[in-house]
Amino acid sequence: MQIETIETHAYNDQNPGTSGLRKKVKVFEQPGYLENFVQAIFDSLEDFSGKTLVLGGDGRYFNRVAIQIIIKIAAANGFGELIIGQGGLLSTPAASHIIRKYQAFGGLILSASHNPGGPNEDFGIKYNVGNGGPAPEKYTDAFFQRSQVIDSYKTAIIEDVDLDNLGSQQIDGLKVTIIDPVTDYAALMQSIFDFNLLKQSISSGYITLMFDAMSAITGPYAKRILVDMLGAAPDSVINAEPLEDFGGHHPDPNLAHAHELAERMFSAGAPTFGAASDGDGDRNMITGSNIFVTPSDSLAIMAANAHLIPAYAKGLSGVARSMPTSQAVDRVAACYNIPCYETPTGWKFFGNLLDAGKITLCGEESFGTGSDHVREKDGLWAVLFWLNLIAVKRMPVADIVHEHWQKFGRDIYCRHDYEAVETPVANAIVDCLRQQITTLPGQSFGEYVVKYADEFCYEDPIDGSISKNQGIRIGFENGSRIVFRLSGTGTVGATLRIYIERFEADATRHNQDAQVALAELIELAEQFCEVKKRTGRVAPDVTT
C-alpha cells in the first residue's frame, strides 16, 4: 500500500465539545481540516496497529466524502479492519453496539446530532473508545493538544471504497467490511424487549403509534423494527428516508421542531403513542394522546417500571442523571433504595458508572435516555421501552404519567434555550452569575429562600477525575432549583440553557401548566442572569 505524508498547518479551533468536534460544513471543507483532526486522534491513541475501527454517520451532507477521507487515513495509520455501515450510515447507538459486539478498538461517528444539515449547515465527528462510549475528557484533551501542533497527516493512495454493497474486501493489508446498519441493532432490541407482546398489542389495535424519524438516521431502523418486525402500519413511520439536509428541517425531537408529530398527537383521534428521534438516533421525544412526557419524567418512569421489561426484570443496580435533569429519578431511587448519581452533561460521564456496574439506567433532560446495553443514549430503545411498558401495564401514556406523579409527586420542570448568543455576551452572563454565588445563599425572594449557590464540579467515583465549571446551580429551601449552563453542541455563538424545576407533592396541583407553575422562578432566573436584557430578546428560542 502506497502511503503519502501530506504537509499541513494546524487549525486553532479543533477543541471537541460535549459530543465531539462540530463546525459548519464549510469549515470542515477547508484543506486539511478534517484530515488534521483525524490524524490528531490517531496520533493520540496507542496500540491500534492491525485492529478494527468502526465507521459511520447519520447521512448528513459531507458524510460520504468524509468517510472516504477517513478510510484512507486509517489505512495509512495501520488499522487492520474497518467496519462501515452500508451507505456510510450508522446511528450513534448502533455504532456503540457494533464497537462492543465486534470488540473493535474504537469508532469514528460522523454526526452533529440534532443540528441542521446541508452544505451551509453543520457537520461533526467524534471518537468512541473500545467500550462503545464517547471518548472521556483525557482523550479529547489529548486530541485538541495534538491538533494545535500537527504539521502533517498520512493518507493511503487507494481508490474510493464502494460503500453500498455488503461484504468484505481486502485492500492490501486492510480489510473493509460493509455491514447492514440495522441488523445487529435490531437483534439487540429483540433481546431486551418482549417483541411477541408488542406484536400482539399492535396487531390487536390496542397500541397505535406514530414515529417521526425527522428525515434522519432512525428511519431505516424504525421501518425495520416497528413496521417489518412488530407489524405497525407502514404509515406509522413518517419522514423515514435519511436526507442529507434532513428535508430542510431541524432534526431535534421536541415539540417545536417535530411539529407534524405534535399536531397529530394533540388532535382528536390521536394514536396511543407518538415519538421522534434526532439526526443521529440517540435522542427521543415521548408523547401520548394529548400529553408530552418531559425527558426528566420519562427517565424517572422508566426507572420505576424497569422490572416490567424482560432485560431489567431482576432490578436496577443504580441510576444516574445529568446535573440539569430534574430530581424526579432521585425520588424513585430513594424509594427503591438504589444508588443515584449526578453527573455533568455528556454521555461520556455515564460510561465509567456503567462499566463498573454501578448503574443500569441513565438519562439527560436533553431528550436522552439509555441503559447498560450500549454506551450511548438511544432514541429507538427508549421508544421500545415505552411501547413495552404500555403493552404490559395496559394503560395509555397519560395514565402512566399520572400514576407516577400520584406515587412520587411531580417535579414541574422546563428548559429555556437562548440559541446563538454572541459568545462575549454569553460569557458575561456566566461571569455575572459566578459573582453572585457567594452572596445569594440566605437571600429571600418571596416564597423562595436560597439554600445554596455553586458551580457544579464532578469527581468521578470510579477513576477520580475531576470536571469543573459544569453549570451554575441555585437551590432553594423548598427544593426548587434554577440551573444555568452554556451548551457545547452548537456551532455559532453559544446556547444558554436555563433549567427550572419545582417539586409539587399535592396531587390536586399536578396538572398545572409548567410555564404558569414556574412563572415566579422564570422571573427570578431573568433577575439573576439578565439574558433578555443583555441580548434584547423577549423570549427563549426553544422552550421544552
Question: Could you read off the pLDDT of 186-221 as tens digits, one per residue?
Answer: 999 999 999 999 999 999 999 999 999 999 999 999
The 3 state secondary structure assigned to 129-151 is CCCCCECCHHHHHHHHHHHCCCC
Average pLDDT over residues 534-543: 91
User: What's the rounded Cα separation, in Å, for the pair 184 and 182?
Assistant: 6
| Assigned CATH topology for domain 3-180 | Alpha-D-Glucose-1,6-Bisphosphate; Chain A, domain 3 (3.40.120)
- For position 428, what pLDDT does the model report? 95
User: What's the rounded Cα separation, in Å, for the pair 317 and 123?
Assistant: 37
pLDDT at 450 over 60: yes
Residues 80-93 as b or e (16 or more Cβ within 10 Å = b) = bbbbbbbbbbbbbb
Q: State pTM to two decimals.
A: 0.94
Query: Where in the chain are the domains?
Result: 3-180, 184-408, 410-543
The residue written with cell numbers 495509520 in the block is 77
Instruction: Tabulate helix, strand, coil % of the chain (nearest 5).
Output: 35, 25, 40
Check if the beta carbon of residue 184 is closer than 8 Å to that of residue 93. Answer: no
Average pLDDT over residues 245-250: 94
Q: Would you give the DSSP letter of residue 223?
A: I
Instruction: Report the SS3 class of residue 23.
Output: strand
Q: Which residues on neighbouring strands pair with residue 319, listed in sequence order?
A: 340, 361
By C-alpha distance, which of 323, 320, 351 is closest to 338?
A: 320
User: Which residues touch 480 (CB under 8 Å, ≥6 apart)?
Assistant: 448, 500, 501, 502, 503, 521
The grid coordinates of residue 104 equal 473493535
Q: Where are the beta strands (DSSP E) in 111-258?
A: 122-128, 152-156, 167-171, 174-179, 209-212, 237-238
Q: Which residues on neighbouring strands pair with residue 66, listed in sequence order?
A: none
pLDDT band for position 488 (50/70/90)? low
Would you name the residues annotated as active-site residues? Answer: 113
Average pLDDT over residues 218-237: 98
Average pLDDT over residues 115-140: 95
Q: Could you tell me which CATH number the domain at 184-408 has? A: 3.40.120.10
> CATH number of the domain at 410-543, out of 3.30.310.50, 3.60.20.10, 3.20.20.70, 3.30.390.50?
3.30.310.50
Question: Could you read off the pLDDT of 290-301 as tens digits, one per residue?
Answer: 999 999 999 999
Question: Could you read off the pLDDT of 72-97 as tens digits, one per residue?
Answer: 999 999 999 999 999 999 999 999 99
- For position 489, what pLDDT does the model report? 57
Question: Could you read off the pLDDT of 12-71 as tens digits, one per residue?
Answer: 999 997 779 999 999 999 999 999 999 999 999 999 999 999 999 999 999 999 999 999
Fold: same for 184-408 and 410-543: no
Q: Which backbone phi and psi does 317 adopt, to 5 degrees?
A: -75, -25
